[in-house]
Amino acid sequence: MSHPVLHVDQVTKRFGGFTAVDNVSLTLRPGERFGLIGPNGSGKTTLINCISGALRSTEGRVTFDGHDVSTLPAYKRTRRGIARSFQIPRPFKSMTVLENLLVAIDFAAVGHGLNARQQESEVTAILDKMGLGSKTHVLSSQLSQVELRKMELARAVASRPKLLISDEAMAGLSSSEIDEVLDLLIALNKDGITIIMIEHIMHAVMRFSDRVLCMEAGRVIAEGAPKDVMANPRVQEAYLGV
Amino acid sequence: MRGNGFWLAAAAFISAAYGLTVFATNDYVFFAGYIILQFMVLATAWNILGGYAGYVNFGTNAFFGLGVYTAVFMAKAFGAPLLLQILVAGLVGAVLGFAVGLLTLRMHGIFFSIATIAMSIIIETFIINWKFVGGASGVQLLRPPPTAPFDSYIRMLFVIAAVMVVLAVAVARYVQNSWIGRGLRAVRDDEIAAECTGVPTLQLKLLACSISGFFLCAMGAPAAMYLQYADPASAFNLNYSVSALAMSLIGGTAHWIGPLLGALLLASTQQLLTVTISSEVNVLVLGLMLVLFVVGAPDGLIGLYRRFFKPKSSDPSGGSSAP
Amino acid sequence: MFSFELLLDAVVLGLLLGCFYAAVSIGLSVSFGLLDVPHVAHPAFLVLASYGTYFLSEYGIDPIIAGLLLTPVFFVLGLGMYRLYYETFEKRGSDAGVRGIAFFFGIAFIIEVAIILLFGVDQRSVQAPYIGKSIDILSLRIPLRLVVAFIVALLLTLILTLYLSRTFTGRTIRAVAQDADALRLMGANPIATKQWAFGIATGVLGIAGALLIIVQPVEPTLDRAYIGRTFCVVVMAGLGSMSGTLLAGLILGVAESIVLTLYGASWAPAISFAMLLAVLAVRPQGLFGR
């Protein structure tokens, strides 16, 4: 077995007296499609904030690609290959779609040594793949919801990630749009990107994931094959509130 | 962009300024012109942080005042020459800018702005209580003879200010068009998303604060010799803060030409008003223009220009052209 | 050189002054603390109210009565201000940022200059039976004007606190600060609620301005010193906390008064700003935050 791309080792995050993530561990193999589920407030977003560096874990270690990144700021983790989208899209509003992606290329993919022309052609390739080609020069503040979701994924991809964390990229989309985004994620995975998908839309998680982890109140309550996790009585209890 | 055009224009600008000192007969044009050039530098420098990165610095007066007093101290303590005063003031400003940059770690928006006012009052209070530089009542300064090729001090100051305009604009232009500018825009739009897209937000903000601080403070230094007098109340006057901010916003913050235009327009109007009516009225005009533009033309003169002369702009380097 | 009596004197004066600081800040505690409006022009309106009081007192009206008369005027002014702010910034989306701050900064300057043009740059003060006298309590000599300001300030703070916690409208205002969308679902209009709250925040400045000119002579640019004091109090209090506002005002008052006694007047203006900076840097959620 190849060495893991991500290893989260007993990570705990406390805010004052409140423990949002409690002693969570997980290991991702390269190329894996990983689903992260759990009710609202169960600590999913806090956990991926600790992985992406938006927050620093109180205890525990995050190892990425063989290096301990626990103390690195977010931008350095992005440069090492952890990219993410946000639950509520966070576009650079004053910029066009093209410029949004150029930020990622300029800063995250530094050292790839591309000149301006090559940068633009890389961006165009990514946008075409994401079905945003016609929006290249449109201001990001004028995009529709699904276009924003796609642009966030495109921006993440432009940073040439090894691991992509998609935080509820399908929330608020129609079912055909959900399928579109799902197909995109699967296509990205085929290109070799490991993906963590946080999602409430169960059929999407089931279709997408090789493996699923369920959190409740900051703890892991089940982990394994999608079907097994969904059949787990504790998971059903957490979701149905029985 | 047309790099050569810019440098040609810059060379022409400095030559014209120098030519004026050779041919003009009336000194008044230099007294008024110096002030206009000074505000061009202040607005351009303010915009590097306020416009590009979106952090509203109310403490322009702290940087400017500190520049004035760095010059006073250097002149009194070591008899340092003017250019050295300006350089040291710039370095002091860069250090203060760096400190202000550290504030951005914990403060955003209005909190940052209020913190910069706080900083300026605290610095002013220290100067007021510093007897060596004259305390609250201020200090009189004697101009040394002008350096060749100039035969009048005010004419020399005028050319120095013109050179500083070119330096400040060149730096602002470089920042805007380089990866630094793109990173700062990302910071302004969404700092968290920027950080997660690989932008070293803190480093960029520290850089922007230091560069901005360098020029704000450096421009204070020659003001001491311009007035031949320095006192805390006028060196730390809040009018510098509102002017730098208003000129940038009125011109437009997205492009380096904005603050330059804003400063040219407002400072010239102010010079006219101060002479013909009163200095209170010019502050009133400044305030009214600021509010009018912020409400009615949020992207400033640049925005108005784009709206009326480039109706269908999808130019990728351009700013917003909302319908 | 340093006596216990001197310190006691400073503390007592500081407490009286602190209550006054709370009163001039409580409007900001609503507009900035609860409504998130970057109201840098708050102290400018305060000084404007002082000049209004001065203007009325020239006709022989007692300053406190004048302040009460100004309150409805300022209330309406506040309604208008919020409307303008809302239409210009909040309605167009979240991008108020730089421009919202610049807007109020500009308003503050316009008010300053308007005062200069109308009243000149000289200091102005008012006459009243309680100004200029002092009372002796034990060994302390306390200016009566501070006592009057203290009592009115305490009443004002108390009434506003009760209004926000006990009345239906008051609680709606607190609710809109927490979650405007939830409020909309409950059938209330968040914009109208915010506008009303901003009106009240500005209205109380009528009385606060009267207190200011009772406590000290005013000049057009006095608002600059009060940017530090009012924001210091509101931030220290924890945004939107009314009881915190009173406590924070008292802390600032005592601190200023002690520094004034020990180090002299030239250091006093920096105290509020230094405390503000310290609170922002160390505990941005305030000392008594929600």
pLDDT of residue A111: 54
Identify which of B182, B202, B314 has the shortest CB distance to residue A102.
B182
pLDDT digits (tens, 9 = 90+) for C260-281: 888 887 888 789 899 988 888 8
Tell me the domain boundaries of chain A: 6-90+160-240
CA–CA dist B238, A170 (Å, integer): 50
Would you give the distance in Å from CA B222 to the centre of its chain? 14
Residue numbers in chain B where pLDDT is lower than 70: 1-3, 310-323
Contact B322 A139 (CB under 8 A): yes
Identify which of B189, B197, B316 has the shortest CB distance to residue A155.
B197
Partners of residue A83 in chain B, C-beta under 8 Å: 196
Distance from CA of A141 to the nearest CA of B (A): 10
In a domain, C140, yes or no: yes
Distance from CA of C40 to the nearest CA of B (A): 8
Query: Does residue C22 carry a pLDDT above 90?
Result: yes
Predicted confidence band of residue C57 (pLDDT cuts 50, 70, 90): very high
Share of chain C above pLDDT 90, in %: 44
Predicted confidence band of residue A240 (pLDDT cuts 50, 70, 90): low
Residues A36, A40, A41, A44: what is their CA dihedral angle, to the nearest 10 degrees?
10
Is the domain spanning A6-90+160-240 CATH 3.40.50.300? The answer is yes
Partners of residue A101 in chain B, C-beta under 8 Å: none
pLDDT digits (tens, 9 = 90+) for A59-112: 999 999 989 999 999 999 999 999 999 988 899 988 999 999 999 988 887 656
Predicted confidence band of residue C149 (pLDDT cuts 50, 70, 90): confident
Contact B283 C113 (CB under 8 A): yes
- Locate the chain C residue with the closest alpha carbon to B115: C277
Contact A84 B196 (CB under 8 A): yes
Contact C88 B106 (CB under 8 A): no
DSSP string of chain A?
Answer: -PPPSEEEEEEEEEETTEEEEEEEEEEE-TT-EEEEE-STTSSHHHHHHHHHTSS--SEEEEEETTEE-TTS-HHHHHHHTEEE--SS----TTSBHHHHHHHHHHHTTTTS---HHHHHHHHHHHHHHTT-GGGTTSBGGG--HHHHHHHHHHHHHHT--SEEEEESTTTT--HHHHHHHHHHHHHHHHTT-EEEEE-S-HHHHHHH-SEEEEEETTEEEEEESHHHHHH-HHHHHHHHT-
Identify which of A52, A96, A107 has the shortest CB distance to residue B316.
A96
Interface of A with B in 4-33 (CB under 8 A): none
pLDDT digits (tens, 9 = 90+) for A165-188: 999 888 888 888 888 889 989 999
The structural domain count of chain C equals 1
pLDDT digits (tens, 9 = 90+) for A197-231: 998 888 888 889 999 999 988 899 889 998 888 88
CA–CA dist B87, C46 (Å, integer): 42
**SS3 state at B108:** coil
The CB density around residue A113, as the number of other CB atoms within 10 Å, is: 7
The domain of C38 spans: 24-222
Contact B196 A98 (CB under 8 A): no
Partners of residue B290 in chain C, C-beta under 8 Å: 102-103, 105-106, 109
pLDDT of residue C289: 53
Distance from CA of C7 to the nearest CA of B (A): 23
Contact C38 B113 (CB under 8 A): yes
| ipTM of the modeled complex | 0.88
Q: What is the mean pLDDT of chain C?
A: 87
Query: Does residue C45 carry a pLDDT above 60?
Result: yes
In a domain, C8, yes or no: no
Size of interface B-C (CB pairs under 8 A): 123
Q: Which of A114-123, C18-27, C215-224 has the lowest mean pLDDT?
A: A114-123
CA–CA dist B85, B64 (Å, integer): 13
